[in-house]
Structure 1
Amino acid sequence: MNLAWKDIRFNPGRFLLTALGVAFLMTAVIGMTGLYRGIVEDALLIVDRIEADLWVVQGDRAGPFAEGSAIASTMDRRVEGVPGVAGVRRFTQFSQQFSFEGRSGRATVTGLDVPKDDGSWIPLIAGRHLGASRYEALADLSTGLTLGDQVRLGLDHYTIVGVTRQMVDMGGDGLLFVSINDAMSIARRRTSEEVLLARAANQTVAAQVGERSSVAQDSKIAAVLVTLDPAADPAKVAEAIGRWGDARVLSGADQRDLLLNARLWKLRIQILAFTILLLAITCIVVSLIIYTMTIEKLHQIAMLKLIGARNSVIAAMIGQQAGAIGLTGFLLALVVSSVLFRFFPRRIVLNPTDLALLGLVLALICAVASGVGIARTLKVNAREVLS
């Protein structure tokens, strides 16, 4: 006879409510870890897919993602002459507000060096990649733009020739890919008020600022992407470029490290803290419920001991109840997560490894919770059945 199953059948409502409470707590934990995984994937999206061996950014800066970067517009031609370099591409990225059909939107404009880079590394769900060097764009679905739409950016109109999905930055804004020339044109666009203010500014101060920098003040190029020859030594190429003084060379691994351990470090700590807090609450809730269920059965437990039931049989009943609550709650959490998180505005990544680890943690929580109830049952004396 399975005593745990008998007890669950005797009061199924309480068991289901308990499992549902555990399910919602675990759904929150899964959501927190999935949100972090999603933010990391969004942050590393460009770095992982654009296939660049080296990133040449502004000297003494950690750009273009972890920190702002602006390099000379001729940097690509200088880098191209370095021995071991097979190809170079200019790159820029910035946020941009736009209006479309009476509503305002926000996108992260990403400049691709067409025709060297037509965006063929970008997965499309409709349309084609960039074929012209001007006035064409690829848009993520989250921007609200679809194939064939014409959107005004800066002073010009751009036709959406391709649509992608889940191509966003770490802030959740959809990516809008245009040619590098179009991106610079959009970034340089100024209102009439800005022009008047610039004319009224102190030209002497502006000249002094320009003399201290090798980068033109209107430069909008954030980085140069380098493709190396197969036989080239990345360290020697990076050393040769780094000696110029106005440029810093980062590898793909460097970019990942800067994003994860610098830009997203505080976010990682915050999510870890909230996850630990939710798991601690889950442990307390399950322990209280198991202890309460045990207290309610003290008379029955004393009866079992009176008729000769061993402590191991009673302990197994408590452990099986805790395990059933944990397993049912975890399965419900997986179902709720798979249904609910697809409607979230940010990407929630359900990593199988994370889910397995959370399942093991919940199993440990249930073991601790059952230990609280088992400790109480060991104190029960068979004579208490007469009280």
Structure 2
Amino acid sequence: MNLGLKDVRHNIGRFLMTAAGVAFLVTASIGMIGLYRGIVADALLVIDRIGADLWVVQGGRAGPFSESSAISSGMDRRVEGVDGVTSVRRFVQISQQFEHRGRSLRASLTGLDYPRDSGGWVPLAAGRHIASGHFEAIADISIGLKLGETVRLGRDDFTVVGLTRGMVDMGGDGLLVVTINDAMAVAQRRTSEEVLLARNTADATTAVTSGSSVAQDSKISAALVTLDPATDEAAVRRVIMAWGDANVLSRAEQQSLLLDQRLWRLRVQILAFTGVLLTVMVIVISLIIYMLTMEKRHQIAMLKLIGARNTVIVVMIAEQAYLIGAGGLALGLVLSNIIFPWFPRRVVIEPSDIELLGLAMAVICGFASLLGISRALKVRAQEVLS
């Protein structure tokens, strides 16, 4: 006879409520881990998909994702002259808020160096890639634009010729992909008052030359370099670094900057919150098992009176704890798959994370049962007469 399962059936209501409470804690834990995974996936999305071997950014900076970067407008032509470089593309990405049909929308305006790059690395859900140097856009579905719609950015109207899904920046804003010349025109748009103020600044020459109140000659964030497979990457880096006004980052270095610096605090916070949730789970299961054990003191005393070994009692209590944990984990997985697809941010549920959470649940249930086991072993056979 399985005493643990029989006792669970006897207290099915309490068992189900406890399993439901544990399930919500499991769901929250999966959500915290999945949210971090999703933020990492979003942060690395452009770096992984755009296919650049090297990123040439502003000298002394680690842009364009970890900090701001602005390189000279002729940097791409300079880099093209380096031995071993097969192609160079300019890159810019800026946050943009705009009005559309009475709604305030937000997007990450990403510039493609058309015609070198028509956006083939952007997966399409509908429509086509950019085929014109001006006024065409590819929009992520999360922005809220439809295929064929016209949206006004700056002083120009853009037609949405393609839709993509899941292409967002680190902040979760959907990508709005246009040509780089259009992106820079939008970025450099100024009101007439701003132009007048720029002309009246002390450094009037810089303001007039740059066409902006910002003291820089370009809005370009980086140059994306593709190398010949036989090229020595280190040699190319040394040549570009020697110029003094540029810094060179590999794809791996960009990823490291994001994960180990930009997202480091977020990682610690999520691990801390997950630890708190698991601790609460231990407390909840421990208290329920202890209460169930206290209610069974008479039955446990009877078992001892008829000669049952302590292992029978230990297994019974441990089974209850693991049944609660297994039920909570199963229900938590079901809730996660129902709830998280509707989240505004990407939640990535990895099988390896579920396996680790299952292992953690096994340890938690084993630890939680110790309190009830300790109390059960103290019950004496004589208590059956009380």
Instruction: Give TM class, smaller chain.
Output: over 0.9
Determine if contact 1:188/1:218 at 8 Å carries over to the other structure.
no
Cα distance in 2 for residues equivalent to 1:201 and 1:11: 79
Question: Higher mean Cα deviation, 120-129 or 197-206?
Answer: 197-206
Partner of 1:103: 103
Partner of 1:53: 53
SS at the partner of 1:137? Answer: strand
| Structure 1 residue 39 corresponds to structure 2 residue 39 | yes
Partner of 1:261: 260
Shift of 1:216: 6.9
Partner of 1:329: 328
Cα distance in 1 for residues equivalent to 2:380 and 2:153: 80
Determine if contact 1:151/1:157 at 8 Å carries over to the other structure.
yes
SS at the partner of 1:124? Answer: coil
Partner of 1:279: 278
SS at the partner of 1:94? Answer: strand
Shift of 1:20: 0.2
SS at the partner of 2:369? Answer: helix
Shift of 1:271: 0.7
What do residues 71-122 of structure 1 show as CA deviations (whole Å, max 9, x unaligned)? 0000000000000101100000000111111111110100011111111111
SS at the partner of 1:329? Answer: helix
Cα distance in 2 for residues equivalent to 1:267 and 1:203: 41
Cα distance in 2 for residues equivalent to 1:118 and 1:177: 10
SS at the partner of 1:345? Answer: coil
Partner of 2:65: 65
Q: In structure 1, give the amino acid aligned to 2:80.
A: E
Cα distance in 2 for residues equivalent to 1:32 and 1:337: 11
Partner of 1:368: 367
Shift of 1:379: 1.0
Cα distance in 1 for residues equivalent to 2:59 and 2:376: 69
SS at the partner of 2:358? Answer: helix
Aligned length in residues: 382
Partner of 1:246: 245
Q: In structure 2, give the amino acid aligned to 1:310.
A: R
Partner of 2:176: 176
Q: In structure 2, give the amino acid aligned to 1:366.
A: C
Q: In structure 2, give the amino acid aligned to 1:316.
A: V
Shift of 1:206: 4.7
What do residues 42-92 of structure 1 show as CA deviations (whole Å, max 9, x unaligned)? 000000110000000000101000010000000000000000101100000
| Structure 1 residue 227 corresponds to structure 2 residue 226 | yes
Determine if contact 2:206/2:215 at 8 Å carries over to the other structure.
no
Cα distance change of structure 1 residues 300 and 290 upon mapping to structure 2, 3 Å threshold: same
SS at the partner of 1:69? Answer: coil
Map 1:117-196 → 2, pairs under 5 A: 117-196=117-196
SS at the partner of 1:176? Answer: strand
Cα distance in 2 for residues equivalent to 1:205 and 1:118: 36
Cα distance in 2 for residues equivalent to 1:184 and 1:343: 34
SS at the partner of 2:105? Answer: strand
Runs of 4+ in 1 over 6 A off after TM superposition: none
Cα distance in 2 for residues equivalent to 1:197 and 1:169: 33
Q: In structure 1, give the amino acid aligned to 2:345.
A: R
Shift of 1:170: 1.1
Shift of 1:133: 1.1
Shift of 1:205: 8.6
Cα distance in 2 for residues equivalent to 1:94 and 1:41: 19
Shift of 1:218: 3.7
Map 1:5-24 → 2, pairs under 5 A: 5-24=5-24
SS at the partner of 1:121? Answer: coil
Cα distance in 2 for residues equivalent to 1:25 and 1:230: 49
Partner of 1:297: 296
Determine if contact 2:70/2:216 at 8 Å carries over to the other structure.
no
Determine if contact 2:72/2:217 at 8 Å carries over to the other structure.
no
Shift of 1:204: 5.7
Cα distance in 2 for residues equivalent to 1:151 and 1:125: 19
SS at the partner of 2:125? Answer: strand
Q: TM-score, normalised by structure 1?
A: 0.97
SS at the partner of 2:109? Answer: strand
Q: Which runs of 5 or more structure 2 residues have no equivalent in the other structure?
A: none
What do residues 246-301 of structure 1 show as CA deviations (whole Å, max 9, x unaligned)? 00000000000000111111111111111101111111111111111111101100
Cα distance in 1 for residues equivalent to 2:203 and 2:65: 31
Shift of 1:203: 2.7
SS at the partner of 2:168? Answer: coil
Determine if contact 1:8/1:15 at 8 Å carries over to the other structure.
yes
SS at the partner of 1:162? Answer: strand
Determine if contact 1:291/1:373 at 8 Å carries over to the other structure.
yes
Partner of 2:308: 309
Cα distance in 1 for residues equivalent to 2:10 and 2:216: 77
What do residues 224-252 of structure 1 show as CA deviations (whole Å, max 9, x unaligned)? 00000110011110111000000000000
Shift of 1:5: 1.2
What do residues 332-368 of structure 1 show as CA deviations (whole Å, max 9, x unaligned)? 0000000011111111111111111011101110000
Determine if contact 1:72/1:216 at 8 Å carries over to the other structure.
no
SS at the partner of 1:26? Answer: helix
SS at the partner of 2:226? Answer: strand
Q: In structure 2, give the amino acid aligned to 1:343.
A: W
Q: TM-score, normalised by structure 2?
A: 0.97
